[in-house]
Amino acid sequence: MNQLTSLGDEARIALDTAAGRAAGLFSPNLRLGVTGLSRAGKTVFITALVHNLIHGGRLPLFDPVRSGRLARAYLEPQPDDSVPRFAYEDHVRALVDERIWPESTRSISQLRLTVEYESASGWNRMFGRGRLHIDIVDYPGEWLLDLPLLGKDFRTFSAEATEQSESAVRSEVARQWRAIADAIDPDADADEAQAETLARAFRAYLAECRAASRSLSTLPPGRFLMPGDMEGSPALTFAPLTRMSDRARSGSMQALMQRRYEAYKSLVVKPFFRAHITRLDRQIVLVDALSAINAGHEAVADLERALTEILTCFRPGRNNPFSALFQRRIDRILVAATKADHLHHESHRRLEAIIDRLVERAVRKASLSGASVNTVAMAAVRATREATVTEDGETLPVVVGTPIDGEKIGDEVFDGNKETAVFPGDLPDDPGKLLEAREGAGQRFVRMRPPRLERTAEGMTLSLPHIRLDKALQFLLGDRLA
């Protein structure tokens, strides 16, 4: 039994799984979870994945394409009527026609992609063409970071939040929330106005931690930053207390905060876990490691902490044919460092070494048994091309692209139209240096506009360019299309 669930939860999950398996008995499907923390590129990844499969993208490392076995891929109506559809067409329009990055994930959404293929097995080909429904489930990583709260009471949650707020990178932005929280008498009568003031200050503190200058990742409760339709509800009007009584008096401020914290878990976190996380077969976690590196070693260490929390939430393992009828287990997890196109290819190996180091430590702490975990440095949409420039007699590897309107390099501010060459600098050979010192801080990874797509001689628009999207697809889907 998972530490986040009770026996009753497991029974309901088993019933849900059995019903889902029965419905899809003659129509094989795979549920792929796509998550990541803010600015990691979840929306772009899903859009690029679908666009490349539908439009015959260049995917030499994806075996069904390389071997010519992929017959066609197309979208179908999604089976879950209660989940919003991923706005694929809108996102393609933004990337291709307007050359702007689509809006970030702010809620859960889903898309069904159906792939028809020829089996790699001659025996299986005798029975006709194979077909696999891929249900892509897109959800904010901030919501996933809420799942460990199911195993923590309000006292533990408050103690951890208080301890984190005392770190060097957080203490300054935590000052207002701490001042309000430190002044609250936990035994005083509950005060709604005071509760709202405290929750608002804590929410502002979390938002400042997430800002690009700090790029911190461990920021529960996740709905405080992405409330969706629950904004303003009592279940989101609470905050950690820095002073706690041994026993919460009925009607006290501590009792109110404690009750709302438990309501948040039962009304928000647990339904999300049961309805979505327990139904996944494969998972990709997208990580904006470059922003953390740019912010300094505290942000990199916090990213590792967030990865550990995220990986702990999954239900890893392999199913046999009987157990698969009653439970789904995630048997493959890919952690992808995004925005590799911000670096020259000579630094990609170092970026992969950094994410390998972070994931290795996180996997060890999360105790992921039975699941295959892999890493990759990738760009779902490649916004740059590579070149070299000569400066003071030295040849430098650079990336060339169109910086987003308002981006700066030195004293130059870009208007979103001018193309420029950027030397992004070198990542350290030893990933450990990013966790121990400020090496890597101060590097500037300039945000670029999406590329202008190439056209064939016949005027057809080619698929979105990428870096190692095919490698990610091979790990996540290759065996199911064999």
**DSSP state string for 117-134:** E--SSHHHHTT--EEEEE
Count CB atoms within 10 A of the CB of residue 391: 9
| Neighbour count for residue 425 (Cβ, 10 Å) | 14
3-state DSSP helix/strand/coil percent for the chain, to nearest 5? 40, 15, 40
Q: pTM of the predicted model, to two decimals?
A: 0.87
pLDDT at 232: 84
Q: Which regions in the chain score pLDDT beneath 70?
A: 1-26, 122-128, 317-327, 366-369, 435-444, 456-461
Give DSSP secondary structure letters for 238-258.
----SS--SSPPTTBHHHHHH
For the chain, give every residue range classified as CATH 3.40.50.300.
7-139+276-381+468-481
> What is the reported pLDDT for 124?
63
CB atoms within 10 A of CB 159: 16
Q: Does residue 29 contact residue 80 with C-beta atoms inside 8 Å?
A: no
Burial class (CB in 10 A: 0-12, 13-18, 19+), 172: exposed
Instruction: Please give the structure tokens belonging to residue 102.
Output: 């689509």
How far apart (Å, rounded) are the C-alpha atoms in residues 215 and 198? 23
Q: Which CATH number fits domain 7-139+276-381+468-481: 3.40.50.300, 3.20.19.10, 3.90.950.10, 3.40.220.10?
A: 3.40.50.300
DSSP-derived 3-state class of residue 223:
helix
* Residue 460 pLDDT: 61
What pLDDT is attached to residue 442? 47
